[in-house]
């Protein structure tokens, strides 16, 4: 009996053991999955350039079929790092990837030269090049950069000089609310002698922002990539762009904190994007910005984008990360740091959802279509703002038309903004189309805004210019004749559950509505100081008023050429 059991059972046990051993052998990695940059020569001392060692580690990982390039604790000074497909860069706790200072003018080396781009005539130098960056990748797939370490762009330019001002230094005020001409330690540079690049009708390329070889101006730049993840790291002093993603599809940015001296995250001509739980402090430019430039040589729409759970601010640079949240800077229009769609907009925007975001000491939401594209199907909800030195909401159709073949303004339509709570805004919401090209289908609902007030009767008589070809910035329209909502050239506008308050007396009306077709005021609460109209109506047709205190319910299909609420 025992012999029979041994004869039949032992072969089966042996076969099982062989199977398990084979499986265990197969599970053992035949190559290292982690590529430590120190093993490839990186010093991590913050002084010695580790560029070659980092790129050797990436090359080794690529040769092995992919893997994680690991930065242990230390400070790794570097010039351009060449990201590759199937590679993850991991910045461990205590590690800093430091953008090295560029070499002196006329000295070789430094960051990779900006690549040639035939489409530089429609946007600035920073939008048109990617290789002159601390980390760049082109035509890649399946890549990631993760933390909890830090990227510090100390040696990067913000676009007008070899290197930016040091952290903590504030650029001088401007006179036009835009960026100063010189925001660098050694002044502006002169464009390289490129007779083939004669500035076009929009003055690009130009000497003001063209950088010489060896100078970098972006911390992370990605072009025509897919399946990209950025997660769990911090960024300080990112240059012209802390993150520039152009033509990147299936892009996830999660739990990234950015404290920078110009743009935070720019999503240009990207599709299927998720940005969540990020904190961005950018006093001198936009925090989280969607664009659709012509840098790729085509009008590519930015679409299917979700922005959620993000914090935007305009504190002095570096003070979000150190926790002091200082507010010393001052320039016309106030600190920027907002969420914006535009300015570059030739490709257009479609299917965008923004939710559960907090703004503090920065400008408000800006939705801008000025280059002949579309801006449609936008939903924004659950937003809170404090100390907004600008319009809490700015929606604009203009006629700058900075796109090949653009002959007439584009469109902005089907825009829903709800559950917005704003404290201490200095200007009213501004919705501005153009004659014959209205903003369409806008609903503002469940909104409470407390304005600073202080406007005078003289301000109430001011005419607002169209500025159809100008840069789309709300403060460039000047002081508005109303303090709450100014809307002009709009079709199908609904204000529902809207309550507007002032923190100081204001002699202007709350609402100014001009050239509006199909206007609904539903449960709108406006103060009514003696001698001041709640709102003014000019060329308004299809007016419906419901359940609004102090305003009788009414339906008036006829055109109101000049009236008051």
| Residues 416-463 pLDDT 10s | 999 999 999 999 999 999 999 999 999 999 999 999 999 999 999 999
In a domain, 523, yes or no: yes
- Distance separating alpha carbons of residues 225 and 227, to the nearest angstrom: 7
One domain, residues 282 and 426: no
In this structure, are 325 and 399 located in the same domain?
no
Q: What is the DSSP letter of 436?
A: T
> What integer pLDDT is reported at residue 15 of this predicted model?
42
C-beta separation of 203 from 226 below 8 A: no
Verify that 426 and 555 share a domain, yes or no. Answer: yes
- Can you tell me whether residue 15 is helix, strand or coil? helix
Q: Do 327 and 412 have their domain in common?
A: no
Q: Residue 30 has what pLDDT?
A: 53
- Compute the distance between CA of residue 454 and CA of residue 529 in angstroms, rounded to an integer: 13
Enter the pTM of the model: 0.91
Q: Check residue 489 and give its pLDDT.
A: 98
| Pair (194, 91) in one structural domain | yes
- Tell whether the model's pLDDT for residue 12 goes beyond 60: no
Adjacent-strand bridge partners of 251: 228, 273
H/E stretch holding 12 reads: helix 2-27
Over residues 329-354, the mean pLDDT reads: 93
Question: Last residue of some domain: 298, 325, 358?
Answer: 358
Q: Which of 304, 398, 381 is nearest to 342 (CA)?
A: 398
Instruction: Clarify whether residues 132 and 191 are in a common domain.
Output: yes
- Length of the chain in terms of residues written: 565
Structure confidence at residue 528 as a pLDDT band (50, 70, 90)? confident
Going by pLDDT thresholds of 50, 70 and 90, the confidence category of residue 179 is: very low
409 lies in the same domain as 516: yes
Same domain membership, residue 525 and residue 397: yes
Instruction: Assign residue 517 a region (left: φ > 0; alpha: ψ between -120 and 50; beta: otherwise).
Output: beta
Q: What CATH number is associated with residue 102?
A: 2.160.20.10
Averaged over 325-351, what is the pLDDT? 93
| Interatomic CA distance for residues 238 and 280, integer angstroms | 11
Please indicate, yes or no, if residue 171 is contained in any of the structural domains.
no
Say if residue 554's pLDDT is above 50.
yes
Going by C-alpha positions, the residue among 516, 514, 509, 450 that lies closest to residue 481 is 509
**Residue 524 in domain:** yes
Q: What percent of the chain has a predicted confidence (pLDDT) above 70?
A: 88
pLDDT score of 183 more than 50? no
| Tens digits of residue pLDDT in 264-311 | 999 999 999 999 999 999 999 999 999 999 999 999 999 999 999 999
- Distance between CA atoms of residues 438 and 432, nearest Å: 8
Q: Reduced to 3 DSSP states, what percent helix, strand and coil does the chain have, rounded to the nearest 5?
A: 10, 40, 50
Report whether pLDDT(124) > 50. yes
Higher pLDDT residue, 28 or 75? 75
Are residues 200 and 307 both part of a single domain? yes
Q: Are 162 and 102 in contact (CB under 8 A)?
A: yes
Tens digits of per-residue pLDDT, 371-394? Answer: 999 999 999 999 999 999 999 999
* Average model confidence (pLDDT) across the chain: 90
- Angle at the Cα of 47 (from 43 to 51), degrees rounded to 5? 60
The model's confidence at residue 175, banded by pLDDT at 50, 70 and 90, is very low
DSSP H or E segment with residue 51: helix 51-63
Cα dist from 270 to 139, 234, 244, whole Å = 13, 23, 11
Quick one: 345 and 372 in the same domain?
Answer: no
* pLDDT for residue 189 is more than 50: no
Give the C-alpha distances (Å, rounded to integers) separating 326 from 278, 317, 323, 335, 391: 20, 8, 9, 12, 22
pLDDT at 32: 55
Average pLDDT (24-44) is: 76
**Beta-carbon-side half-sphere exposure of residue 412 (alpha carbons within 13 Å):** 30
Instruction: Based on the fold, state whether residues 329 and 428 are members of the same structural domain.
Output: no
Residue 15 within a domain: no
In this prediction, residue 178 has a pLDDT band, given cuts at 50, 70 and 90, of very low
| Per-residue DSSP letter, 74 | E
Q: SS3 for 320?
A: coil
The count of domains in the chain is 2
Report CA Rg, the chain.
27
Whether the bond into 205 is cis, omega within 30 of 0: yes
Q: Domain end: 334, 358, 382, which one?
A: 358
Give yes or no: residues 372 and 508 share one domain: yes
| Contact criterion met (CB below 8 Å) for 471 and 176 | no
Does residue 521 sit within a domain?
Answer: yes
Nearest-angstrom CA–CA distance, 513 and 276 = 36
Chain centroid, CA 385 distance in Å: 17
Parallel, antiparallel, or unpaired for β 563-564 and 535-546?
Answer: antiparallel
Could you tell me the residue range of the domain that residue 142 belongs to?
A: 31-159+181-358
Statement: residue 192 has pLDDT above 70: no
Q: Is the pLDDT of residue 9 over 50?
A: no
Strands 535-546 and 554-556: antiparallel
Of the candidates 303, 547, 522, 502, which has an alpha carbon nearest to the alpha carbon of residue 418? 522
Residue 197 above 80 pLDDT? no
Which helix (DSSP H) or strand (DSSP E) does residue 365 occupy? strand 365-369
| Angstrom distance (rounded) from CA 100 to CA 46 | 9
Of 358, 382, 399, which closes a domain?
358
228 vs 204 pLDDT, higher one:
228
pLDDT at site 13: 40
Classify residue 561: in a domain, yes or no. yes
Return the pLDDT at 163.
85
Asked if residue 261 belongs to a domain, the reply is yes
172 compared with 538, residue with greater pLDDT: 538
Interval 461-483: pLDDT, tens:
999 999 999 999 999 999 999 99
How confident is the model over 234-260, as pLDDT tens digits?
999 999 999 999 999 999 999 999 999
Average pLDDT over residues 115-133: 94
For residue 540, pLDDT over 50 is answered with yes
Q: What is the pLDDT of residue 160?
A: 78
- Residue 219 confidence (pLDDT) above 60: yes
Check pLDDT > 80 for residue 171: no
Position 165 scores a pLDDT of 67
Closest CA to 324 of 361, 289, 357: 361
With CA atoms as reference, report the closest residue to 237 among 211, 219, 212.
219
The pLDDT score that the predictor gives to residue 103 is 94
* Residue 303 domain flag: yes
Residues 346 and 121: their CA atoms lie apart, in Å, by 13
């Amino acid at each position: 009996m025992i012999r029979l059991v041994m004869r039949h059972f032992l072969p089966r046990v042996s076969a099982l053991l062989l199977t398990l051993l084979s499986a265990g052998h197969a599970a053992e990695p035949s190559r290292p999955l982690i590529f430590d940059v120190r093993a490839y020569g990186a010093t991590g001392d913050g002084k010695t350039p580790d560029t070659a060692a980092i790129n050797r580690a990436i090359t080794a990982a690529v040769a092995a079929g992919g893997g994680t390039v690991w930065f242990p604790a230390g400070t790794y000074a570097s010039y351009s790092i060449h990201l590759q497909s199937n590679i993850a860069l991991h910045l461990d706790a205590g590690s800093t990837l430091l953008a090295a200072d560029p070499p002196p003018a006329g000295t070789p080396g430094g960051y990779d030269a900006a690549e040639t781009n035939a489409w530089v005539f429609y946007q600035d130098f920073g939008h048109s090049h990617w290789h002159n960056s601390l980390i760049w990748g082109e035509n890649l797939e399946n890549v990631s950069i993760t933390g909890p370490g830090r990227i510090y762009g100390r040696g990067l330019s913000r676009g007008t000089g070899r290197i930016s001002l040091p952290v903590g230094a504030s650029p001088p005020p401007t006179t036009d609310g835009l960026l100063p001409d010189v925001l660098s330690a050694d002044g502006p540079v002169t464009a390289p002698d490129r007779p083939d690049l004669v500035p076009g009708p929009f003055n690009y390329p130009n000497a003001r922002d063209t950088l010489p070889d060896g100078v970098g101006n972006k911390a992370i730049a990605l072009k025509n990539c897919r399946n990209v993840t950025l997660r769990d790291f911090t960024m300080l002093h990112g240059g012209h762009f802390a993150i520039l993603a152009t033509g990147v599809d299936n892009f996830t940015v999660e739990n990234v904190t950015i404290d920078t001296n110009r743009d935070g995250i720019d999503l240009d001509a990207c599709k299927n994007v998720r940005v969540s739980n990020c904190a961005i402090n950018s006093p001198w430019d936009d925090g989280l910005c969607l664009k659709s430039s012509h840098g790729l040589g085509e009008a590519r729409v930015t679409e299917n984008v979700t922005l959620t759970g993000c914090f935007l601010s305009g504190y002095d640079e570096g003070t979000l990360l150190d926790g002091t949240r200082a507010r010393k800077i001052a320039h016309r229009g106030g600190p920027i740091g907002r969420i914006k769609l535009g300015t570059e907009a030739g490709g257009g925007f479609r299917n965008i959802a923004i939710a559960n975001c907090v703004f503090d000491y920065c400008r408000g939401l800006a939705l801008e279509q000025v280059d002949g594209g579309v801006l449609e199907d936008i939903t924004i909800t659950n937003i809170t703002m404090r100390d907004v030195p600008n319009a809490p909401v700015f929606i604009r159709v203009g006629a700058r038309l900075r796109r090949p073949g653009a002959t007439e303004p584009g469109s902005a339509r089907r825009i829903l903004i709800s559950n917005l709570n704003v404290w201490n805004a200095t200007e009213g919401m501004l919705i501005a189309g153009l004659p014959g090209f209205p903003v369409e289908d806008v609903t503002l609902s469940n909104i409470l805004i407390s304005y600073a007030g202080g406007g005078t009767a003289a301000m109430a008589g001011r005419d607002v210019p169209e500025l159809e070809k100008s840069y789309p910035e709300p403060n460039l329209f000047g002081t508005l004749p109303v303090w709450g909502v100014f809307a002009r050239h709009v079709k199908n506008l609904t204000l529902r559950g809207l309550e507007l308050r002032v923190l100081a007396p204001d002699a202007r009306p709350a609402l100014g509505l001009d050239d509006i077709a199909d206007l609904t005021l539903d449960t709108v609460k406006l103060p009514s100081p003696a001698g001041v109209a709640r709102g003014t109506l000019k060329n308004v047709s299809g007016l419906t008023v419901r359940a609004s205190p102090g305003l009788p319910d009414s339906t008036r299909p006829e055109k109101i050429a000049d009236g008051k609420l």
